[in-house]
Amino acid sequence: MRDKRKKVCFVVCLFVLWAHLFSAPVLADMVATVVWVFDGDTIKLSNGARVRYAGVNTPEVAHDGQPAQPLADEACLLNRRLTRGRQVRIQIDKEKYDQYGRLLAYVFLPDGTFVNSALVEKGLAMVYTTPPNVRYDQDLLTLQRRAMRERVGLWASADPGKEPFYIGNTRSRRFHSPSCHLGQKTGRRNKVIYRNRLEAFYDGLSPCKKCNP
């Protein structure tokens, strides 16, 4: 009986250790030089890694025959001015890569400047929270709300939208048009109804990429 208890205790301890290792945030930092800036939220490092800024989203630059979105070039220029040719510290959250294999990271300059937040503060990036990477979501949202109140950058002429309402999902941190099947599937517990897009942005939600409300 005693041997059996020891065996059970050993298995439980292994399970607890495994759960801790695989659920704890990965926050190891690395330092590298930025050798290329693709757009407002994507860079390439001297070690070959492509980095997509976590927690934010900037307008799309011109690509594949599509014109640049408003202020995309300005966001890219600011990102280039801050980072290109400079050494940066890369901080990783719980989820390390996006669907394209890019490193998801928070980027810091040697003087402590948080590049992700600098873009939000200037109104050149929107908060784009993607759980489980939520380490700085409240800090970024505070800056976005200030930019919205001061009507800077993207918020100078932000479109409130034409739908009668929008469906927010507090779990996915996205909002949808009323006809979006993803929005319609949102559970009551996570559903919030917004009168316009700006209310959803102020709460830190981002547009669904399927219905693009």
Catalytic residues: 52, 60, 102
**Best CA proximity match to 68, nearest among 60, 76, 78:** 60
| Residues 6+ away with beta carbon under 8 Å from 84 | 34, 35, 36, 37, 43
| Residues 6+ away with beta carbon under 8 Å from 100 | 52
Helix (H/G/I), strand (E/B), else coil: 194: strand
| Residues 6+ away with beta carbon under 8 Å from 71 | 59, 123, 124, 153, 154
